[in-house]
Amino acid sequence: MSFSLQHITRPSSLKENAPLLIMLHGYGSDENDLFSFAKELPEELFIISVKAPYPMQPFGNAWYAINFDTNQNKWNDVEQAISSRDLIATFIDEVCENYPVDPENVSLLGFSQGTILSYAVALTYPEKIKNIVALSGYISEDMLPEQLNSDSYSNLDFYCSHGSVDQVIPVDWARKIPSILDKHKIKHVYSEFPVGHGVAPQNFYALRDWLEKRI
């Protein structure tokens, strides 16, 4: 079987119907980055860490390009982002067909650009996802369908966190997340930690506890 996205796996202690956790790394990173969390997460999780489709120079990968103009203003390649969003949705189907996992118990864990994509996938394809761990990212509404159907979001549950001194993605962008999720009656928690663009140990323990209660 060929898959739409390259990935690495940590099999579950369960032989079938394992809860699935898919990890989506940040801009300029790769599938090994978040995979370091795997050994600290519940052994019943079937964990897949995915490599983003767009290679960068000299190394690393991206879910979509970030372009800069002469004044160092930056903007996202939204077409690439939407393409990656749909690719991840296809990949989820492939994983559920080919690994011993429970298609009704799929979680995403993203960091930074991987979080932006996690929001986009969950809010576009809510029937495929159950839990979302969204670290150091934000909701980019231009990567979502024009009409969001609140009725289809009742199964979704988000753990959202951000560094209060994040120098890459301003915390003000993340602070808009709860009101957007509230508007669509989506279950969520939102936390901030006194760090920059990264995951503090206490943040990791909090997300692990949150996830353990939901798998």
Residue 9 DSSP SS3: strand
How many domains are contained in the chain?
A: 1
In a domain, 105, yes or no: yes
Q: Name which of 26, 28, 66, 65 is nearest 49 in CA terms.
A: 26
In a domain, 1, yes or no: no
In a domain, 2, yes or no: no
From start to end of the chain, where are the E strands?
A: 7-10, 18-24, 46-50, 54-55, 61-62, 66-68, 74-76, 101-111, 131-135, 157-163, 187-193
Within 10 A of 29 (CB to CB), how many other CB atoms are there? 21
Question: How far is residue 127's CA from residue 134's CA, in Å, rounded to a whole number?
Answer: 18
**CATH code assigned at 195:** 3.40.50.1820
pLDDT of residue 71: 66
- Residue 118 sits at the vertex; the CA angle it makes with 74 and 102, to the nearest 5 degrees, is 165
**Alpha-carbon dihedral 175, 91, 37, 140, rounded to 10 degrees:** -10
In a domain, 146, yes or no: yes
- Amino acid of residue 44: E
Within 10 A of 56 (CB to CB), how many other CB atoms are there? 14
How are beta strands 7-10 and 46-50 bridged, if at all?
A: antiparallel
- End-to-end alpha carbon distance in the chain: 27
Domain of residue 131: give its range.
Answer: 7-212
The answer to whether the beta carbons of residues 27 and 62 sit under 8 Å apart is: yes
In a domain, 208, yes or no: yes
- Residue 54 sits at the vertex; the CA angle it makes with 70 and 52, to the nearest 5 degrees, is 125
Residue 108 DSSP SS3: strand
Question: How far is residue 91's CA from residue 40's CA, in Å, rounded to a whole number?
Answer: 25
In a domain, 86, yes or no: yes
In a domain, 84, yes or no: yes
Question: How far is residue 66's CA from residue 180's CA, in Å, rounded to a whole number?
Answer: 24
Tens-digit pLDDT profile for the chain (215 aa)?
789 999 999 999 999 999 999 999 999 999 999 999 999 999 999 999 999 999 998 899 999 998 776 666 778 899 999 999 999 999 999 999 999 999 999 999 999 999 999 999 999 999 999 999 999 999 999 999 998 888 899 999 999 999 999 999 999 999 999 999 999 999 999 999 999 999 999 999 999 999 999 99
pLDDT of residue 75: 80
Structure tokens at 99: 């690994």
pLDDT of residue 70: 64
Residue 40 DSSP SS3: helix
